[in-house]
Structure 1
Amino acid sequence: MHALERRCFSLPWSEAQCRAAFAQPAFAAFGLFRGPELLAYISVYHTLDELEILNLAVVPEERRKGFGRRILNAALHVARKMGMQKVLLEVRVGNHAAIALYRSSGFRQVGVRPRYYTDSGEDALIYVCSLQE
């Protein structure tokens, strides 16, 4: 059985960074676990009507098992239940797997942020998904 839990864990940040993020009322991180093993996580920030996906990751050996889609769908479900209208995110131009996941989940590209990623100077593609029925 795979459990979805809201809890503090140390990926991708240090424990101190993660605890500081959890202190913000509009931040949440969800992990998909098999027992004590973390399979995937998603971190988000939200306002009353908008959810921003900050990070979504799946452990490498589990990537082809649908856990990325499962945790994304769980986040979208929670956002709909909370009455949010849209979801947005940035993704690296070269991250073809993430782009395919988001497109197949109803996201569409609405813009580009030039040189958004400071580590590589890569552009970020901005994607949006409407949550209205």
Structure 2
Amino acid sequence: MSETTAELAVHLAAAAHQADAAALVDSAQFMARVAALGPDTPGFVDRVSAAVRQAVESGRPAEPEPTPEAVPLSYNEQLMRTAARQAQLTADYDGSITVEDVQLASPRVVGEWAAAGKLAHLGVPAQRRRGRR
């Protein structure tokens, strides 16, 4: 919980100081400094605000640091990402439809995409609707 608290505090402080919150959160060095401020102690938000202000005043943008290895997602995180992606895949989806999108979307949505000709780039010609409407 303290990691989430720290990120939220950084986002709030960044908004107040017109800083790039994403760059600050992506900086492992900055987030380590924030974690050292004690996310579960009183006055934490004020200390984070001071740290963000100091980062802004120093003029050095917090560059995202490359990670040597990708951290594997937990099962729950994988489920959440899949559910979020499925929620985006509707009949009126305007993005580029991939094979993975077809596998994730509901059969009704895939049928509507096929009928509209949105799957032609995947080798599926426009389909006529069949059955009851």
Scaled to the shorter chain, the TM-score interval is under 0.3
Q: TM-score, normalised by structure 1?
A: 0.24
